[in-house]
Amino acid sequence: MQSFEPKIIALVCNWCTYTAADLAGTSRLAYPANVRLVRVMCTGMVDAKYVIKAFLDGADGVFVGGCHPGDCHYINGNLKAERRLSGLQVILAQFGIDSRCFSLKWIGASEGHEFQKNMARFTETVRELGPQMESDLVIL
Amino acid sequence: MIVKFEKGQNSSDGVRAFLKKLLEDGMADAVLTACLSPHSPLPMPTLVTDKAMLDRAAPLLPVSPFNNARMASRVLADGVGKRIAVVMRPCEVRALIELAKLSQCTLDPAILISMDCFGRMENDDYLEEYAKSGEVAPGLPASLGDRSALCTSCRACTRFLPENVDVVLALAGETDPTGVLLASGSPKGETLLKSLASPSAELPEGRREAVARIMAERQVGLKELTEAAALRIGDMTAFQETIANCLNCYNCRRACPVCYCKECVFATDVFAHRPEILMGRAAKKGAVKIPTDTTMFHLTRMAHMAHACVGCGQCSSVCPSHIPVADLFITVAQRVQDHYGYVPGQDPGRPWPFLIREDDNHEA
């Protein structure tokens, strides 16, 4: 059987996790090609609909990476994201989307290694859980 | 404080007389309550300043075409320097409190009046009942002894006693038909009841039993509802089946009292896709249903307001495709509200779980 290659959307904060990804790149730290990065200005702008859209359009996992608490460029956007997205996780779980397929982590700008490790770990988790959306849901 | 307001032949007469008295004595400048028009037996939320017009007031009829919180939030949008008595069902009060937390209205000028709520019927059922009986029942139609006359969400409502109101119309267990029992729920309410100079009273003996009986029925109803709804969502395929007949009319969104955005993203250009987007989507999967984003709409709405869902059931009532929207929301909301430890409408001082305060610390 062909091994399952998950599609992962990572919504990452411009000021920290995106910079960490950049650092991982310049440091030549490879991370799984399953991850597609989307840069956002702050995790506080990650509305539930972006995550829902990603899953409905075939993502198997969604990762949100923001600044450590206290480090938010906009004071507390990351905490807003945490509050809002924790509820979304509860909702999605009721629709059969495993809550482990949706992760919010804090990765600082200097943590290139941390970024690499998180991406590898998350990709592995999502791979083990398998596809989250029935493939015959073509038109939604 | 509890007083007996003795006027007329039944609780409805009593309530009308009480509301008139509020206008008469200048305790309120206006009353917002369900009133009958000469043209239909369906009562509509009405703002009344002339006490003679209160003859049409019918807040106890077992029907409610709107969740009145939306209407009340318009009247109370910002203090107009007038005191407004608002008569609403407990679920409507809960929704109004949620809107006040979002600064969409202010409760300071409001005198909140609510009743022990026996539930509402669907508009069509109520109108049919009216056509049969030919007259508007002063209290509840006889058929309401039968739980199945109520709409689904009312059958599953365990919060039918008013919370956070100034005056409670204590109807449960009441057998004496010569007026209405008024109980104060706040200092404001107590001052108001004192000034009525009505004889003080006790809650009826049968009240505890009546409340317990309704509560037991409702708890069974809630269990049935959530168990059935859980099967309808369970996974995405089941959910697709459940909402397959959705017309994207967004009636549920309009009817929802706590769908709080002034402008909904689903009514903006974000979801008014250009032809190339539609062609692209069709090409990706071979076909695309239009209108698009039906699942997206329902899930997003849930993510935005499930924590504040008051379970009024208006979303189901307005669905042209008879999708049990409220059942799904009530079921999902239960878990979300547990997750946040948040009960909508329970504590006016408690901010929304999404809001971050200055002194908030990171929660591990």
pLDDT tens, position by position, B337-361? 999 999 999 999 999 988 776 555 5
Rg (C-alpha) for chain B, rounded Å, is 22
| Contact in structure between B344 and B94 (CB atoms under 8 Å) | yes
Q: Tell me, yes or no, if B360 comes closer than 8 A to chain A by beta carbon.
A: yes
Contacts of A97 in chain B (CB under 8 A): 236
Q: With bands split at pLDDT 50, 70 and 90, how would you rate the model's confidence at B146?
A: low
What pLDDT is attached to residue B337? Answer: 97
Cβ–Cβ gap A95/B331 under 8 Å: no
What mean pLDDT is predicted for residues B142-164? 83
What pLDDT is attached to residue A140? Answer: 61
| Contact in structure between B42 and B126 (CB atoms under 8 Å) | yes
Q: What is the 3-state secondary structure (H, E, C) of A43-104?
A: HHHCCHHHHHHHHHCCCCEEEEEECCCCCCCCCCHHHHHHHHHHHHHHHHHHCCCCHHHEEE
What mean pLDDT is predicted for residues A31-50? 96
Q: Based on the number of CB atoms within 10 Å of its own CB, is B323 exposed (0-12), middle (13-18) or buried (19 or more)?
A: buried
What pLDDT is attached to residue B142? Answer: 44
Cβ–Cβ gap A48/B303 under 8 Å: yes
Domain boundaries, chain B: 2-210, 227-340
Is the pLDDT at B290 greater than 70? The verdict is yes
Q: With bands split at pLDDT 50, 70 and 90, how would you rate the model's confidence at B143?
A: very low
The top-level CATH class assigned to A8-129 is alpha beta
What mean pLDDT is predicted for residues B264-270? 93
- CA nearest to A46, candidates A15, A82, A21: A82
What mean pLDDT is predicted for residues A20-49? 97
Is the pLDDT at B25 greater than 60? The verdict is yes
Q: What is the ipTM of this complex?
A: 0.94
CATH number of B227-340: 1.10.1060
Window 223-252 of B: residues touching A by CB (8 A cutoff) are: 230, 233-240
Q: What is the mean pLDDT of chain B?
A: 90
What pLDDT is attached to residue A133? Answer: 79
Q: Tell me, yes or no, if B261 comes closer than 8 A to chain A by beta carbon.
A: no
Q: Give the start-end residues of each E strand in chain B.
A: 2-5, 30-37, 40-48, 84-88, 110-115, 167-170, 180-184
Cβ–Cβ gap A48/B304 under 8 Å: yes
| Stretch (H or E) spanning B270 | none
What mean pLDDT is predicted for residues B161-179? 88
Counting one residue from chain A and one from chain B, the pairs whose CB atoms sit within 8 A come to 94
Domain boundaries, chain A: 8-129
CA distances from B350 to B158, B163, B332, B353 (A): 21, 14, 21, 9
What pLDDT is attached to residue B359? Answer: 58
